[in-house]
Structure 1
């Protein structure tokens, strides 16, 4: 999930405004579901990956890689 969300973020940054808005609506729905199924990572600020990305600061209970 995290890698896929990283890729989506890169794509969103490159899209024209109208296409970006359409994809953001769909991604927002997926983000809501991910937030509901995960917990905050209390050690996110100590990790090597980008802790500024909110989905990188979540714990999925070991159900997903990366």
Structure 2
């Protein structure tokens, strides 16, 4: 999940404004579902190279980022 979300974020940043808004709306619903199915990782700052990205600070199925 984390790698796929990283790629989506790179794409979002590279798109023109109109396309970015459209795709971000769709990604937001997926993000919402992921947030509901995961838990915060209290140790993410210590183990993640990009702990500033919210999806890298989640635990799913007992693993980092699911």
Aligned pair in 2 of structure 1 residues 42, 7: CA closer, same or farther (>3 Å)? same
The CA RMSD measured in Å over matched residues stands at 1.8
Unaligned runs of 5+ in 2: none
Are 2:48 and 2:56, in contact at CA under 8 Å, matched by a contact in 1? Answer: no
1:61 CA drift (Å):
1.6
More strand by share: 2
Which residue of the partner structure matches residue 5 of structure 2?
A: 5
Which residue of the partner structure matches residue 50 of structure 1?
A: 50
Number of aligned pairs?
A: 66
Unaligned runs of 5+ in 1: none
Map Cα deviations across residues 38-57 of structure 1 (whole Å, 9 max, x no partner).
00000001014200000000
Length-normalised TM-score, structure 1:
0.91
Q: Which runs of 4+ in 1 moved over 3 A?
A: 62-66
Length-normalised TM-score, structure 2:
0.91
Which residue of the partner structure matches residue 60 of structure 2?
A: 60
State the structure with bigger RCO (CA 8 A, min sep 6), 1 or 2. Answer: 1
